[in-house]
Amino acid sequence: MSRSLALFFISTLILAVACTSGGNLRFPEPRCTGDEREACLAAQTQIQPDDDICEGSQRRVCIAPLGRVDPDLVRHLAGHFRDEYGLSVYVLTPNAVPEDLPYSLGDQFDAFTMIEYMESLFPDAYRDHNAILIALTPVDLYDRDSHFRYVFGLKGSPDDPTAVISTSRMYPETYGERPDQDLFFARVRKLFSKYVGYMYYGLPLSDDPHSLMFDSILGPGDLDRMQEPLPVPGR
């Protein structure tokens, strides 16, 4: 069985478990849950911020690290979007994730509440529609308005350019595969690309599973099938 086909079956299984409340199947253990959760809430001290408040007059992308997110991943994303697309990308001051955020459910945090928390940290950037404000967090997220047990992230719109991405379930080892940093980085980068494509460039969402703008991401196999780069002029 090919690796992509295997991931399809794994993703389908995850979705089936996520959409049911019963059953004896064991849901994959994501990062930053259980005994790992508390350590993941602290601010990441190994990230050197570029900017405290994401200020400026030009269109720009600002990454807000919330919790102990992988510092190499943050540097990778900032460098990729600067080099590949020529964007102005700023890494903001890392912040901790409060343990008592509203609508927390077990080890999970509500994605929209996480965005609201980011907005409280950077209110000027939130009010500036030239700033694409994306939180990156290691903690597990769910959407209280969705029937799914988890989400990889949640995005706003071109008129409300804020989003959050969770890396908790992006790791290959969560799905029984060997650790692979390149694959992990690629999964996060593709979702980040989709949000940039939609909120920065105004690209339409797509039902093509190979497009970075694919709008029905249900598991890691969907991220793996999405093909870079974004279809934007001037690259």
DSSP string, 33-48: -GGGHHHHTS--TT--
What are the E-state strand segments in the chain?
60-65, 89-91, 109-110, 131-137, 141-142, 153-157, 160-166
Mean pLDDT of 215-222: 96
- pLDDT for res 116: 98
Higher pLDDT, 230 or 23: 230
Higher pLDDT, 2 or 125: 125
- pLDDT for res 55: 87
pLDDT-derived band at 235 (thresholds 50, 70, 90) equals low
- pLDDT for res 15: 43
Mean pLDDT of 229-234: 88
Q: Is the pLDDT of residue 23 over 50?
A: no
- pLDDT for res 9: 40
Q: What is the pTM of this model?
A: 0.88
pLDDT-derived band at 136 (thresholds 50, 70, 90) equals very high
Mean pLDDT of 192-212: 98
